[in-house]
Chain A
Amino acid sequence: MSPRDKLKRVLEGRFEILDLFSDSSPGNISDRFSSVIGIDRESISDDEVKELFEHFISEGSILRALTLLKILSLNDREGNDLAPLLASLLEREALSDIRPATVDLLATKLLGTNRPSVAWNNLMKTSLIFQAASAGEVDKPQSDWLVCHDETPIQPDAPHGMLLYLRIVNSLPDSSSPVWNRKNTRTKVPMPVYFSLVGHPDSNLKFQKYEAALVDLSPMGMGLQLVDLYGCLKPAELKDRRIRLEIVLPSRKDNVHTFATIMWCKEEEVRGRKMIRFGAKFQEAIPEQVAVIQQLIKQRKRDQQLLWSLWDTKTTNL
């Protein structure tokens, strides 16, 4: 079997090769493939790398494409040969619409930047090892697990009746944070948002309009915080509560109104004041509203646009 075929079989989840690994095998994935299986950058041609890479990309298997680069990176630490492939991937991803393909966590993290050099460095830092796991864990991947399993059921020749897993070791910052599980990158957007509780049994609270500070924002949801001066809001009661949101846009006549559900809520003490923080997921956001929110996010990434937005806010009543 040629190195190219071996590599393809491993990345496709054919497990017979895994039996070649032992506990004494090197931890680094590229070292493993080089020393145990004899696959390294020298044993596979540029055209084969490119063909395999494109093959996985065309299947939507971004993680496998990245793993391919990882395996072959042993003799190319600087990424001189392989970084262009990564750059092409990043470019394609950057151009594509936001899509729910982000179950591929490593890919999500790497594609969080449009800078090939940054992505490459992340890839180089990441130590991938194979870790066997039971089939039951497939449906409940841990936050720090990188699941790269086949859609097909357990194959008879899989060692110990297990699926193939890839696991990231000591590479992802704060991988236990719920932020890691977000499917969309959030952008810090400090601006006021008004909200009211929908269908709250207490009529006093039901019609109350609260002002919160928008902490961060994504097309799917937002993080908010507010000081509850009168102690009316109880975090435990807010969770799963439906709210009506009004996002104040300095440059627009009509603010954005939408509904959202509070997914989590907690109370903290900040500088002696009780602060309620919560994350809300948009519901029933119409495309126009999503477009406005995305535009807002895009604008906030540029300092000049933030400057003018603040200028408009500060000079409104002058």
Chain B
Amino acid sequence: MEPLGHKNDQSLSVELPRQTISIGGGKGGVGKSLVAISLAYWLGRLKKRVILMDGDFGGANLHTMLGNRMPEVTLEDFLLRRVENLEEVLQETFMPNVSLLAGGMDIPSLANPNFSRKTRILRAIDKLDTDFLLVDLGAGTNLTALDFFLASPRKIVVLRPQPTSVQNAYGFIKAALYRKISRILWPTPLRGLLDGSGDHPDESIPRSVEEIFEEVSSEIPESLPAITQAVESFHVDIILNMVRDPREKRIAEVIHEVCRQHLQIGSTTLGSIPFDMSCERWATRMNQGTFAQNAQDGALKSAYQIAYNLITQPEARDAAA
């Protein structure tokens, strides 16, 4: 098991600009990429400069969804220093005001970029001149996804009203929070507490944030303010995607309640997007011409309100930045 904490993690605590939004969800197939594209589309239409970044280093395909099957330059080129500046990776898309940072799939070893590469990307992102940066994260709870999620002031979790999606979304949020806390615990005697490594056997892993607080206040009370701040500043926005019945919207409350009770973090529902067969058809053919045709109804129309909220409610929920 990959440890949640590492000696270099303190340096990884890069705080990206306030307009950076990460979109994750833990589970594949919940529509993260389509939500990211839809939000980028509307933000662009609303005259905002948007950069859409493919944060799925192991399975980059956002460019394909945007009609570019073989991008000439990708993030791999930046990681391998074939290009010096991240701006050189930016490519135009069919959407107005929206640029793409395409991910590459040529070199498997780059699926899990090491510490220095992750830091280099995060710092380069920090320098990008844009109104919004949307990072479409990959599925799963790998540390790369968690680090980009944590570095973003605004954290969006996309889920479907299905049990596996809810389960994975919660698991993703929990993993991210534990990762954040683990960074603080790394230089302390409680290093490894949250993943059962070090001196801490599996049975002693705290089952809730309350138990973490208990352990910290007992063992390293001097770290309690930092842990408290880390938890209190952690906030996630939920987008419920592919909703077939309006009553399904209350499923988001499952996440809210478990987050509140067990993780002691806040979460809000940013919006919901109905199930739309045209999205299925679009995802099958990837015909960019048909994408904008759906702007007046269905899923894309619902995404408008969410994008509008992102502009009109710019305050980042997460106070980390």
| Contact in complex: A303, B166 (CB < 8 Å) | no
B105, chain A: closest CB distance, angstroms: 34
B-contacting residues, A254-268, CB 8 Å: none
| Contact in complex: B207, A303 (CB < 8 Å) | yes
Number of interface residues of B (CB under 8 A): 24
Interface string of A119-130 (1 = CB under 8 A from B): 001100000000
Docked CA distance A301–B261 (Å)? 10
Say which residue of B170, B219, B258 sits within 8 Å of A121 (CB atoms).
B219
| Contact in complex: A302, B207 (CB < 8 Å) | yes
Chain A interface category by residue count: 20 to 34
Interface segment, one of A51-59, A239-247, A310-318: A310-318
Check if B290 is an interface residue, CB within 8 A of chain A: no
A-contacting residues, B141-180, CB 8 Å: 163, 166-167, 170, 174
Check if B214 is an interface residue, CB within 8 A of chain A: yes
A113, chain B: closest CB distance, angstroms: 7
Docked CA distance A133–B250 (Å)? 58
A80, chain B: closest CB distance, angstroms: 13
Q: List B contacts of A307 (CB < 8 A).
A: 166-167, 170, 254, 258
| Contact in complex: A301, B207 (CB < 8 Å) | yes
Q: List A contacts of B245 (CB < 8 A).
A: 318
Q: List A contacts of B207 (CB < 8 A).
A: 301-303
Number of interchain pairs (Cβ within 8 Å): 57
B150, chain A: closest CB distance, angstroms: 20
Docked CA distance A318–B161 (Å)? 11
Where the two chains meet, the residues of B that have a C-beta atom closer than 8 Å to any C-beta of A are 163, 166-167, 170, 174, 204, 207-208, 214-215, 218-219, 245, 247-248, 250-251, 253-254, 257-258, 261-263
27 of the cross-chain contacts (CB-CB < 8 Å) are A113-B214, A115-B215, A115-B218, A117-B215, A118-B218, A121-B218, A121-B219, A190-B261, A302-B207, A303-B208, A303-B258, A303-B262, A303-B263, A304-B167, A306-B257, A307-B170, A307-B254, A307-B258, A308-B163, A310-B254, A310-B257, A310-B258, A314-B250, A314-B251, A314-B253, A317-B247, A318-B248
Counting from the closest, the 9 A-B pairs by CB-CB distance are: A303-B262, A121-B218, A310-B254, A118-B218, A307-B258, A314-B250, A311-B254, A314-B251, A310-B257
